[in-house]
């Protein structure tokens, strides 16, 4: 049996396993297509163009899953709860966010294991942003 020299095998990050930047940009773009038409969520994005919000979420998710650290390099620590505090995030907003994210995740056609991992994180993240009862 041939021995593999130390340091030659590296485990891929989740970011790499699912297709890297292209996959995360597609996910976020599909998500924001839904948000753009959503009467509850759209007003939470004060910018006329959703492009800057789309870019921030894409960079955050890429970094979270093991991609480039561009998000933190540009914006510092994510501080997600603090950044969402000015907005009323109730159960209805949570559900609407997850509806659009679910459609985006399904459109990626990821292997079941990867879809499950991603979806578990997204449902946890959505729940942690709720800041208003109801």
pLDDT bin (cut points 50, 70, 90) of residue 79 is: low
Segment 71-88 shows an average pLDDT of 69
DSSP secondary structure of 13-74? PHHHHTTHHHHHHHHHHHHHHHHHT-TTTGGG--SSSSHHHHHHHHHHHHHHTTS--HHHHH
Q: Are 53 and 83 in contact (CB under 8 A)?
A: no
Q: What confidence score (pLDDT) does residue 83 get? A: 61
pLDDT bin (cut points 50, 70, 90) of residue 73 is: confident
CA 102 – CA 106 distance, rounded (Å): 6
Q: Kindly state the greatest CA–CA separation across the chain.
A: 62
Please write down the HEC assignment for all residues of 69-93. CHHHHHHCCCCHHHHHCCCCCCHHH
pLDDT at 30 over 90: yes
Q: Which CATH number fits domain 18-129: 1.10.490.10, 1.10.10.10, 3.30.460.10, 3.30.1650.10?
A: 1.10.490.10
Q: Are 44 and 93 in contact (CB under 8 A)?
A: yes
Q: What confidence score (pLDDT) does residue 35 get? A: 97
Q: Is the pTM of this model over 0.95?
A: no
Give the mean pLDDT of the chain: 88
Spans of all domains in the chain: 18-129
Q: What confidence score (pLDDT) does residue 41 get? A: 94
Higher pLDDT: 3 or 27? It is 27
Higher pLDDT: 93 or 77? It is 93
């Amino acid at each position: 049996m041939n021995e593999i020299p130390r340091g030659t095998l590296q485990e891929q990050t989740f970011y790499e396993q699912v297709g890297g930047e292209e996959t995360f940009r597609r996910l976020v773009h599909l998500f924001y297509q839904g948000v753009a038409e959503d009467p509850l969520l759209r007003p939470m994005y004060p910018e006329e163009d959703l492009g800057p919000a789309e870019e921030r979420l894409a960079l955050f998710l890429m970094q979270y899953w093991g991609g480039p650290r561009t998000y933190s390099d540009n914006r510092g620590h994510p501080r997600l709860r603090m950044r969402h505090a000015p907005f009323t995030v109730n159960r209805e907003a949570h559900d609407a966010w997850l509806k659009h994210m679910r459609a985006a995740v399904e459109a990626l056609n990821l292997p079941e294991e990867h879809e499950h991992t991603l979806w578990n994180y997204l449902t946890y993240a959505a729940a942690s942003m709720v800041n208003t009862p109801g």
